[in-house]
Amino acid sequence: MTNYPEADTINQLINDAKHILIIQPDNPDGDSLGSGLALEQILGEQGKEVTIFSAVSLPSYLKYLKGYDRVEITFRKKFDLSIIVDTSSNSLLENIYKQISPKAFNTRPAIILDHHDHISGDDISFTTVRLNVPSAAATAEVIYELSVQLGWQLNLDAKNALAAAILSDSQGLTANKTTARTVHIIGELVDGGVSLSALENARRDMMRKSPEIVKYKGRLLERIEYLLDNRLALLVIPWEEIQQYSPQYNPAMLALEDMRLTTDTLIAIVLKIYNDGRITGKIRSNYGTPIAGELAALMGGGGHDYASGFKLPNADLNDVRQTVIRHALELLS
């Protein structure tokens, strides 16, 4: 059995609290929301008053998680303990600080539950106890282990939220960090009444696109340019389309995955042209070609090995196009 040395302190802080505020990071996802909703159930059953707070609106694809609409985006409640889920980075709380000052956190205990590799220099300053387990596939996995260790009761809503969160972060138990224990935990949750097919059907239902968006996707796919012997896939999205379609769906995300998954394609780039003269680039590269970050850096941006981006004010499309193709060729050679 997992034995977190932090568990007793966490238990004590929760026992002493009445109003608990659960904080979503500025990049909420299936794991952060599922973890928050599970804690809301677990701590609610212990008689605590629990508020889940997100300073940014939650992405609509997360609506399949029961309790999505209980997350507050305007801070109004008092609290005497905060629990930050799924981040240890201060920079992912910038929007939170616009509504709750770090001082307000400083004067009350705070718990961090996370599984991200620690980045020094970007620490959350007010933490009372941080339980960060980088080997876990999801923060929800850490919460499950904590529940076992502390004997917390999990109702069916909590189990569903934990399962959805683990499946989300582990990409259906296929991501790198998935361990035998991750799979066992899902098994235990299914034993406890969770239906994976019901969760998956609800998630897929939320992924449906309108006929207008599906047809627009068809037009985008037609326009993809395959360059450098198909190693580079490039797509340009003009302002008129951003204006018309992005309230419904991010146009770049309609095409990027198909671009990246084309035979022989190593790197995919979507250029968006805005009405103020700005051009942005979203870059994705395939496993084995970790050049996305380098390419973005050459264009004045940044990011990770396989996902990155850049932003150029007052740019000329032809210049940007030629420059990015040239740099891609250099990096691929």
Residues that bind Mn ion (CB under 5 A): 31, 86, 139, 169
Which residues are 234's β-sheet partners? 225, 269
Closer by beta carbon to Mn ion, 40 or else 169: 169
Tokens of 131: 């339980």
- Alpha-carbon torsion 26, 134, 61, 152, what sign? negative
Closer by beta carbon to Mn ion, 134 or else 277: 134
Q: CA separation (Å) from 186 to 8, 143, 202, 308?
A: 25, 13, 18, 32
Query: At its nearest, how many Å lie between Mn ion and the CB of residue 199?
Result: 17
Instruction: Decide: 180 and 212 in contact? Cβ < 8 Å.
Output: no
Query: At its nearest, how many Å lie between Mn ion and the CB of residue 133?
Result: 11
Closer by beta carbon to Mn ion, 87 or else 286: 87
What's the length of the chain?
Answer: 333
Instruction: Decide: 54 and 71 in contact? Cβ < 8 Å.
Output: yes
Closer by beta carbon to Mn ion, 13 or else 167: 167
Distance, CA of 133 to CA of 235 (rounded, Å): 39
Distance, CA of 33 to CA of 167 (rounded, Å): 13
Tokens of 177: 């960090």
Query: At its nearest, how many Å lie between Mn ion and the CB of residue 31?
Result: 3
Indicate the DSSP class of residue 25: P
Closer by beta carbon to Mn ion, 86 or else 294: 86
From the list 88, 67, 119, the residue with the least C-alpha distance to 23 is 88
Closer by beta carbon to Mn ion, 147 or else 265: 147
Query: At its nearest, how many Å lie between Mn ion and the CB of residue 92?
Result: 11
Per DSSP (E only), the strands in the chain are 19-23, 49-53, 81-85, 110-114, 129-132, 225-227, 232-237, 267-273, 279-285, 302-303, 307-312
Query: At its nearest, how many Å lie between Mn ion and the CB of residue 114?
Result: 8
By Cβ distance, which residue is nearest to Mn ion? 31
Query: At its nearest, how many Å lie between Mn ion and the CB of residue 106?
Result: 25
Q: Pairing relation of β-strands 19-23 and 225-227?
A: unpaired
Query: At its nearest, how many Å lie between Mn ion and the CB of residue 29?
Result: 7
SS3 173: coil
Closer by beta carbon to Mn ion, 34 or else 281: 34
Instruction: Decide: 175 and 145 in contact? Cβ < 8 Å.
Output: no
Closer by beta carbon to Mn ion, 87 or else 265: 87
